[in-house]
A and B are shown apart, each in its own frame.
Chain A
Amino acid sequence: MNAVLTLARRELAATFDSPIAYIAATVFLVVTGLLFFFGHDGSADFFGAREATLRPLFEYAPWALAVILPAVTMRLFAEEKKSGTLELLVTLPVSDVQLVLGKLLGAVGFLVVALLVTLVFPIAVAMAGNPDLGAVAGGYLGLLLIGTAFLALGLLTSTWTHNQIVAFILGLLLCVFFWTATDALIKVAFDKPPLTLQLLSFRTQFDDFAKGVVDMRNVLYFLSVSAVAVVGSTYSLQSRHWK
């Protein structure tokens, strides 16, 4: 576990040594902020709608995360592969799975920082009204879980290629697929889709968090997706021995 944490710390530091982290976090903030204040349904903006709620933030933030987080994970393995530092990395006394977990935790660290900065929005809402802080906490927990799942998926695509751009595009496609395309595909494939299949959609699983409800089924689902992606990434890394 120590090895994983050490790797995670190193990864987090490396992330913040690169301008990409600041750019990605700033883009995330600006996009979610603009959508939060101006992107309300109908004609009214946040102050026009006159409701002290963070629901619009939780509606739009997963979209932004689905786009931003693959940009953060794209370099995690692809860059190491391209620059040849992966071979150096695997000589460390850590297993592939520890390596993957360390990188993932490092990226989660970035996610936490990005989410912490968005706390300016709940603070602004609290200054203008009286939001339900429990619901806000639920929403943030949901963002953390969905973000972790996006990061794990991005990490997986990063292990598939040497090219960061390819890793980003594949990661983006996978995240967007899980966030929204599953709904559409299931509807095309099934006339009457079973409830279990409908639950594949990240969006369906995320809704409860946005309401302030932490349903263990939703938590387990995001953790399962992350776990499957971590295992996939580990074996994808291991594939270097198969050549």
Chain B
Amino acid sequence: MADPKTPSKGTRSGKADALVMVLATVGVAVVVNALMTAINLRLDLTEQKVHTLSDASISAAQSLDSLVITAYISKKLPETIPMPGGGKMALKGIERAFRDKLEEYVTASGGKVRLVYAEDNSPGVGTIEEQAEAAKVEAFSSSEAQLAGSELKFARYAMGATFHYKTVHEVFAKALQPGFYEFEITKILLRLREKYEAAQIQKEPLAQGKAIFEAIKACNELVQKKGKVEESKDEGAAGLSLKGTTDPGQKRFDALAAAKDDIAKTCGDIAKAASAATKLKGKSQFGDQLLQSAEQYKSIVDELGQFLSGTAEGAKDKPKQATMAVAQLTSMMDEFYKEVDRAHTNLTDSPGRKVIGFLCGHDEFCPFAESEPFVPEQMAMMMGQNNPMMKQIMQAATQISQSIDETNARIGDNLFTKRGYMIRRVDGDEPISSEVSALIVYAPRKALPDYTRYQLDQFLLAGKPVIAFAQEWEVALMNMAAPDDLGNDVRLDYSAMSATGSNLQEVLKGYGVDLKRELTLDSKHVETVKVMKLVQRGGLQFQTQQDFPYALVPVATKFDHTHPLSKALETLPVPYPTSVEATPELEKNKEFEVVRVIQSSESSVRKAAPLPVLPPALKEVALKATPTGPHTLALFVRGPFKSQFAGKDPPKRPEKKQTNDPMHPPRDKPSEHDQEIAKRTFKTQGAGKLLVVASNLGIEGLSRGAVLKGFEVGKMAQFSADTLKDYQTWNSNFQNWQIRIGQVSHLLGDNLQFIANVMDWATSHEALVEIRSKGDMRRPLRQMEPDESKNLRLGSLLAGPLLLGLAGALRMMWRRKRNESLKI
């Protein structure tokens, strides 16, 4: 820089010098900043290193040689996008965050990972958004519509990546949550490795599955093409056979009949591929599913062939019906092709994926639709024939049952399947498949029968993790009351506490785990429940919601930071918990590892139920009790468990109910799965892992048994006034489930994260647990009385200005004193 003390020789040259210097400084600054954009040098000051790749992520990146990541990032992203439940999600800075994170992985891999950004409008590949959609990266739109030609369209955006490793690939479909980038990417990297390794072992079945899929694809494309193309052609242009035909159905029939030899030849490959698929059959659920879909597809093709060649029964006599049948069959083929595609995708995606089983059938949380129909259709029709009232009730009950199934299936899909977990229903009256890697027993409210307990016992002793969530009490807080005998109508004021019929306490006792029946309350560290209230205003009744701190929703504050599940936890709200301890014998046994994963605060207390349910009364109970906390709310035990069935005859498998379901016909001979089960030997002892959580974490099971309590087909046949009352009770039960979930819905985010962590831990992805927790590191405030928070706020707002005022006054006094001394 020129020395400003040296006068410039002339005004003009001085100005020019200054201008040059300022411009040069700006230029240097721009160049240095531009160069630095390529260097990702960051210091993460957060306590848990939330923004730094963990060791597990680094080693995952280093383990995949020649991994190619293709990032699809729209050039101009909107500022916000609408969220499904209302509200908007800000996308500010998201692009840079995603690029930075991907580049961090590239750097961490030491040159093993290559990152490519999809370029806009490269010749023949289309826009970034089009390329993204072709690569199965999920497109999303903003709330601003744009004019495209004559129509208004929402612009589509992409923010995701595909990961290709040798012969396998995975997709990060929508990268909109920077907090979870590391979790999602590392999960994909770990999955790629597992998938590739497992795919090497399953090369043959996968190749056979692919051959079946390719054969069906070729057949379907040919049939759909022939049917469609001829339909769109002008009359007469399709050849001699179509001249004079105007009916599109007839046209399709004629065109397909003309191509019947081609179709027979192409579609004939399906049978060849299916019969050659010896390595696929009975090996996995997905292989069997693909074969089953292929079989169904083939039977439709065969039927089509019969109609086209005129060999089908009545085809020649009734040409109109034959035309309609062909139209129907081609459309069915297309539908079944989608099924085959899905089954094939599941098969190719299955290698290395671990299956988590959910025990069902005891009114527990079971995120699947029931496998058995509620009431066989014919029976339902017969029952309503003479009594329209009963017909209506039957329809309503069936509707409730359908809603339950749909809700459960949706929960399973949204909470687990869409997040990449492979979950499977485990029926207690059947042996547990060897494909299941971990078993979740989620808050059963009915006793587990002996055979189920036996299955669970052997599963645990086989060394596979069993996770039990307990729900010993049902808490109905301002629920819908069923109509009573006094003729009172349904009301929203029913509060009660009742014991569930669970025998989990007895089951766990056999493994040295003491599940307490007393409820755990807290007076200080609690979360709120949202309670619906009916308010009278101006003669009208309104429904409102109010938050109440609830002693039965203690916030756990003590965690074992050596266990992967609780390593990064700071707090966790645990609705309606009891508590769990190791028995003194287990505690003394050095062969067992016992970890108190989650504990309530020191101000918590254990109280025998039932207790008052309404918040103020319950608070009184909690306040009056002398604190006895902390109490263990989640306990982990690992060690050589002994079978509860040692020295006893194993319980017999219950007889399978006969169903008329054509999709699940009874088997003539035992399947390979049955044969595998028959070979299993009884284990008297085995190293197992057991995690017991003394709460349902606010997720109550929705089951037919619990909602449609007392439903019996026989009872329904004798219609009476009680039937009507029963119907109202079922309706209330269903609504009460929604009310109870709604009361703790604000806590479900944290609790679902914990459940996801449990599932990752159970499938040996412990590193993911820690990484996920980093992305969702909530640090809630402790429970404070309104006065305390008011004082804290007032204090901190006044403290600063007071401090400044005091400093100013002191300085003024000091200056005055100094000035006075100078005067003297």
Residues on A facing B (Cβ under 8 Å) = 16-17, 19, 22, 25-26, 29-30, 33-34, 37, 46-47, 50-53, 95-97, 117-118, 120-121, 123-124, 127-135, 137-138, 191-193, 195-196, 199, 204, 207-208, 211-217, 220-221, 224-225, 227-228, 231-232, 234-235, 237-239, 241-243
Contacts and interface: CB of A to CB of B under 8 A. Distances in A.
Interface centre among A95, A192, A235, A239 (most CB of B within 10 A): A235
A239 B93 CA distance: 40
29 contacts: A16-B808, A17-B811, A26-B800, A29-B801, A29-B804, A34-B797, A37-B793, A95-B4, A120-B796, A128-B781, A129-B782, A130-B570, A130-B779, A134-B46, A192-B76, A196-B34, A204-B93, A212-B44, A214-B42, A214-B45, A220-B32, A224-B29, A224-B32, A231-B25, A234-B1, A235-B21, A235-B22, A238-B18, A241-B11
Nearest to A130: B779
Nearest to B7: A241
A116 to B, nearest CB: 9
Contact of A29 (B5, B789, B800): B800
B721 interface: no
A105 B104 CA distance: 36
B153 to A, nearest CB: 17
Given A132-B777, A213-B45, 15 more contacts: A47-B793, A118-B800, A120-B799, A128-B782, A129-B781, A130-B779, A132-B48, A208-B42, A215-B40, A215-B41, A216-B39, A220-B36, A231-B21, A239-B18, A241-B11
B207 interface: no
Contact of B45 (A120, A212, A220, A221): A212
A221 B33 contact: yes
Interface in B177-210: none
Contact of A117 (B8, B76, B804): B804
A72 B779 CA distance: 36
B3 interface: yes
Contacts of A224: 29, 32-33
Leading 10 A-B pairs by shortest Cβ distance: A96-B4, A134-B45, A235-B18, A124-B796, A224-B29, A29-B800, A212-B46, A214-B43, A216-B41, A129-B781
Interface string B796-821: 11011101110010010001000000
B96 interface: yes
A14 B236 CA distance: 99
A135 B4 contact: no
B357 to A, nearest CB: 36
Contacts of A193: 76
B95 interface: yes
Nearest to A127: B792
B485 interface: no
B667 to A, nearest CB: 56
A214 B45 CA distance: 7
Contacts of A47: 781, 784, 789, 793
Contact of B815 (A17, A25, A195): A17
A22 B804 contact: yes
B533 interface: no
B84 interface: no
B75 interface: yes
Interface of B: 1, 3-5, 7-8, 11, 14-15, 18, 21-22, 25-26, 29, 32-34, 36-37, 39-48, 50-51, 75-76, 92-93, 95-96, 570, 777-782, 784, 789, 792-793, 795-797, 799-801, 803-805, 808, 811, 815
Given A212-B44, A227-B25, A52 B800 contact: no
A239 B808 CA distance: 37
A133 B45 CA distance: 8
A96 B5 contact: yes
Contacts of A231: 1, 21-22, 25
B132 to A, nearest CB: 16
B468 to A, nearest CB: 30
B797 A30 contact: yes
A137 B34 contact: no
Contact of B76 (A30, A124, A191, A207): A191
B779 A131 contact: yes
A185 B330 CA distance: 57
A242 B796 contact: no
Nearest to B3: A95
Contact of B36 (A16, A191, A216, A241): A216
A30 B801 contact: yes
Contact of A135 (B37, B42, B45): B45
Contacts of B4: 95-97, 234-235, 237-238
A117 B789 contact: no
Contacts of B811: 16-17
Contacts of A17: 811, 815
Contacts of A215: 40-43
A45 to B, nearest CB: 8
Given A95-B5, A217-B36, A132 B793 contact: no
B800 A124 contact: no
Nearest to B14: A242
Contact of A217 (B21, B39, B51, B803): B39
A217 B37 contact: yes
A46 B800 contact: no
Contacts of B18: 235, 238-239
Nearest to B8: A241
A242 B8 contact: yes
A149 B405 CA distance: 60
Contacts of B7: 241
A196 to B, nearest CB: 6
Nearest to B792: A124
Nearest to B780: A50
A103 to B, nearest CB: 14
Given A117-B804, A195-B95, A241-B14, A132 B42 contact: no
Q: Which of B46, B781, B797, B803 gathers the greatest number of chain A CB atoms within 10 Å?
A: B781
Nearest to A47: B789
Contacts of B50: 132, 211-212
Contact of B779 (A129, A138, A241): A129
B804 A26 contact: yes
A204 B92 CA distance: 8
Contact of B780 (A33, A51, A134, A234): A51
Contact of B797 (A33, A130, A195): A33
B151 to A, nearest CB: 21
Contacts of B32: 220, 224
A217 B436 CA distance: 49
Contacts of B96: 195, 204
A134 B45 CA distance: 4
A228 B25 contact: yes
Contacts of A51: 778-781
B292 to A, nearest CB: 49
B1 A97 contact: yes
Nearest to B797: A33
A133 B5 contact: no
A30 B797 CA distance: 7
Contacts of B793: 37, 46-47, 124
